[in-house]
Amino acid sequence: MTSDNDVPRVHRLRCDNLRQPDGLHSARPEFGWAVAGDPPHITAWRIIADVSADHIAQGRGDLWDSGRVDAPGVFNTAWDGPTLPNDARIYYSVQVWDHLDRATPFAPAASFFTGLTAQDWRGDWIARYFVLPEGRDVPQDTRYDNRFQARPADYLRRCFDVAGKPVRAFVYVSALGLYELYLNGQRIGDHVMAPGWTDYHIRTPYQSFDVTELLTEGPNVMGAILGEGWYSGRIGHNQRRAGNHYGGRPALMLQLHVQYADGETLCITSDDQWQTRQGPVCYSDFLAGEMYDARLEMPGWNTAQYHPENWQPVEVISPEPSAPMLEPSRTEPARAVATLPVQQQSTAPDGSLIFDFGQNLAGYVHMQVRAPRGTEIRLRHAERLDADGALYTANLRYAVSEDIYICHGDGVEDFTPRFTFHGFQYVGLSASAPLPDLSLSAVAIQTDLPVTGQISTGNPMLNQLISNIFWSQRGNFLSVPTDCPQRDERYGWSADAQVFWRTAGYFMDVSSFLSKWMQDLIDGQSPDGVFPDVAPTKPLNPYRLTPQPGAPAWGDAPIIMAWDHYTRYADTALLQRCWQPFCDWMNWIERQNPNGLRLEGVNNNYGDWLSVGPGTHRPLINTAYWIRLADLMGRIATVIGQPAVRWTALAARLRDTFVASFWTKEGTLTGDTQTAYLLALGFDLLPPPLRPQAATRLGALIDAADGHLQTGFLGVRHLAPVVCDWLSPTRAVDLLLKETYPSWGFSIAHGATTIWERWDGWTPGGGFQSTAMNSFNHYAYGAVGEWIWARLAGIDTDPAGPGYRRLQMRPVLDARIGHVTAHYDAPHGRIHSAWVMQGDRVAWQITLPTDTCAEVALPPGWSAPQGTEFNLTAGTHDLHLARSEKGA
């Protein structure tokens, strides 16, 4: 156990699930913190808040000092100080008292911006003219012409004077499209692909920055570069409407607030005083790539020393159909999160150089090069190589994924694309002249969610699978959880996310990410309550006047993910916010299917998507998911104080209908597929007497498939958990470690560094699967990760103690795994679990954070001095397990 001398400390401060919010969505933001040092109990807390970081460092909270609040086991609270002002940056800190009544030091200060209300915004949306006031020029060839009709990036600048040194200066910025922001030549922030993707016809997020130290007395220059991004660039797979889904050109919204020591203020906004022109970014598009002509650079364009020539006035515009709501970001910004060096270099049959970075990722290449002026360098991106060693790009469909750089010829040049990204492991490089001095690295980007978990085992293939799952999540969590980052699609498909969400939460803190994306899903909900297949919705089917309605398991995703969110984070606020949209969806399903079978209103009705086995009966899948929703609605209602009886009664009625409709007189389920039994057992759809029969039949189907899985996106989520609980842990590990087709190990044996979209994305006999749909970075089949964490590492939630205040620890111990070492940063503290097997004995070390308990259930054939089932409290425990039965 932890020593009483282990003094705790407070860390991981959060406000509204964010490290530093750009503004507030509520007058009473929610604060959370974690405790390290693992004392058994925390008995009290105190928050201080101030506009001065120095005051917080001194332990002063002049804005709010809660004083000591006796509240055992509490790690979060809402703001309870005076009304927060707009346009402020608030610093805060937390201290706690442990079970020995020892006060911790205050944690290092964190901060949040209170942001602006709609009434505070005084800026205009500004953009480069479609047609200048002087009229249209005669068409002629320019450097900015391209076959994609992609727009060059817009450069904008505004000069203004500052009278003295300000005491504070905050800038608030957003774009319809993408932006980079500069002040006096300095890049502001490290965000990429900002402000992110939403339905820009409804809302767009803004970011907040403290720029006090960048202002100087006298002339100053604010600069911005605008790209098309999701707003007007090419996104999605419909080439008849490749771009302009929200508008025809990017626009900027900005407000700079400067305050002097005497109380005077200065406000610089996006208005008609700005100037614009085109520059070296000839175009930058998600699917086409970026072309950058360094000969067109304008050194110092964003400084006061620059003398603008051929700059034009901006146009103040009114976005159609109406201006979106400006709101602070709900999730973390996207950033560059990793840089990878070249692992291998080869030459393709066409003579181009091939660079292998050893990892499939989403991002771009950073290039340093020295070459003669005018040298044109082309960088083509691919996930795989073909049999001849050339880039395999057919699976990209209409995504060109090529960056072009033209050298200015003056020394070593740096190139990193601004407003595009690619899915790739390999880059092919060709140049119009020799490159004597060349260096490449791959830059991975994602919404920068805190990494919360790490896990390793004694099985190399399993470790690679864990890495593949993590990198597929990293490559697809960019503003929304996309299906793939490489081809002409990149949508936020909802079923892919819902089967993966429990896995995602182990690797990263996805609390803010879901808060943001849940709003996208609600924005895409139809007036009669139908959730969409994807969110944001518009690019999926640009010819519909309404969003494409969701199929079973797709439209159902918000309810499922909300419950997973609650069990992981104990956050009821999201459940409260989404309750009425959830009811609207459930009401719509019931109106379509009054007889209790989900046959109508199934829309695209995808079924067990990409199953490699016999197709599962879709009415069975659809009804199974409906029952699951009814169960979850009953649980959610109970948590948030709503009546639950309607939902429990609905679930009971639907279960009766399910059994009567799909359980045959032969004692099988209609369709008789692995997924049918996985859903029936995973969702508890059958009465107890029928469950052993269903499990036996599932085992027989796996045996008939020579021990292989035969599932698609929906079945795979339940494969390992159901097989483990209803057949045996050994059989679950058999499936997990299998290396012949179809299996996770098969793709790894053939070079996978991320999760494939198809089990047969490539096979020795068939080569590459259909170019119509064959991503090699697609996280859905990585849903097995939750079982790896929950059962191999033994770190599982218990709905009776959400937020990991109570754990279920039911380890699967297998000699083929050898050992497991894992830690997971729960909202209030770190959970550690590590076991190692030596013959018939296992040493298992568990550390539970403060105010946490666990219910341990050892697998059959294993025992500990404490027994086979026992409880643990906070602290470190060294358990010594032994086989109680040989061969168990």
Cβ contacts of residue 389 below 8 Å, gap of 6+? 346, 347, 348, 349, 354
Cβ contacts of residue 252 below 8 Å, gap of 6+? 125, 126, 127, 156, 173, 174, 175, 179, 224, 226, 270, 274
Query: What is residue 598's three-state secondary structure?
Result: coil
Residue 314, classified by CB atoms within 10 Å of its CB into exposed (0-12), middle (13-18) or buried (19+), is: buried
For residue 289, list its beta bridge partners.
285
Taking every pair of C-alpha atoms in the chain, what is the biggest distance, in angstroms? Answer: 90
- CB 628, CB 683: distance < 8 Å: yes
Tokens encoding 388: 């001849």
Residue 772, classified by CB atoms within 10 Å of its CB into exposed (0-12), middle (13-18) or buried (19+), is: exposed
- CB 663, CB 686: distance < 8 Å: yes
Cβ contacts of residue 523 below 8 Å, gap of 6+? 198, 199, 202, 203, 535, 536, 537
- CA separation for the pair 490, 384 (Å, rounded): 18
Residue 261, classified by CB atoms within 10 Å of its CB into exposed (0-12), middle (13-18) or buried (19+), is: exposed
859 prior amide bond cis, ω within 30: no
Residue 791, classified by CB atoms within 10 Å of its CB into exposed (0-12), middle (13-18) or buried (19+), is: buried
- CA separation for the pair 108, 135 (Å, rounded): 57
Query: Which of the residues 383, 757, 869, 885 is marked catalytic?
Result: 757
* 741-749 own/partner pairs: CB under 8 Å, 24+ apart: 741/708, 742/612, 742/708, 742/709, 742/710, 743/708, 743/709, 744/465, 744/468, 744/781, 744/784, 745/461, 745/465, 747/468, 748/461, 748/464, 748/465, 748/468
Cβ contacts of residue 261 below 8 Å, gap of 6+? 164, 165, 167
Cβ contacts of residue 202 below 8 Å, gap of 6+? 324, 325, 523
Query: What is residue 564's three-state secondary structure?
Result: helix
- CA separation for the pair 482, 221 (Å, rounded): 37
- CA separation for the pair 88, 650 (Å, rounded): 49
- CA separation for the pair 176, 232 (Å, rounded): 8
Does residue 376 have an active-site annotation?
A: no
Cβ contacts of residue 110 below 8 Å, gap of 6+? 13, 14, 15, 19, 20, 91, 92, 93
Residue 584, classified by CB atoms within 10 Å of its CB into exposed (0-12), middle (13-18) or buried (19+), is: middle
Query: What is residue 424's three-state secondary structure?
Result: strand
Query: What is residue 390's three-state secondary structure?
Result: coil
For residue 159, list its beta bridge partners.
221
Does residue 327 have an active-site annotation?
A: no
Residue 793, classified by CB atoms within 10 Å of its CB into exposed (0-12), middle (13-18) or buried (19+), is: buried
Question: b/e per residue, 178-210, with b = 16+ CB within 10 A?
Answer: bbbbbbbbeebbebbbbbbbbbbbeebbbbbbe
- CA separation for the pair 647, 396 (Å, rounded): 44
552 prior amide bond cis, ω within 30: no
- CA separation for the pair 461, 739 (Å, rounded): 9
Give the full edge-to-edge strand order of the sheet including 30-36: 9-15, 30-36, 76-78
Active site residues: 489, 757
